[in-house]
Amino acid sequence: MTDWLVLFLVRLVHGLATAFFWLLLVRVIMSWFIQGNYNRTFHDVYRVLVQLTEPVLAPIRRVMPATGPLDLSPLVALLLVQLVEWILVRLLLLLA
């Protein structure tokens, strides 16, 4: 592969992983304040974040044992996304 294509793909993978990290972090923080918050915009933003992140979190929740009220699936998702990013970047750099 040409160097510019590999660099583009590395940046794309890193950008997607970073975007998912921030989406998930904002979702987790907003989930602490969703109870008792009657702001419609707040709920709309939270709903969009749930729709964007739930496809990654749902399979993790099915595999993980229940931990009561504490949901550790976002932490596992962040670790998995970082691992996948690291592996993909290394593979792309090997192709260069």
Q: Over range 49-55, report the average pLDDT.
A: 97
pLDDT recorded at residue 47: 96
- Determine the structural domain holding residue 44 and report its residue range: 3-95
Q: Please tell me which residue, 43 or 2, carries the higher pLDDT value.
A: 43
Judge whether residue 96 has pLDDT over 80.
no
**Overall number of domains in the chain:** 1
pLDDT at residue 87 in the model: 96
- Which residues contact residue 71 at a Cβ distance below 8 angstroms, ignoring those fewer than 6 apart? 61
Alpha helices per DSSP H over the chain:
3-33, 40-63, 73-95
Residue-level pLDDT at 34:
85
Say what the pLDDT of residue 38 is. 84
pLDDT value at position 1? 66
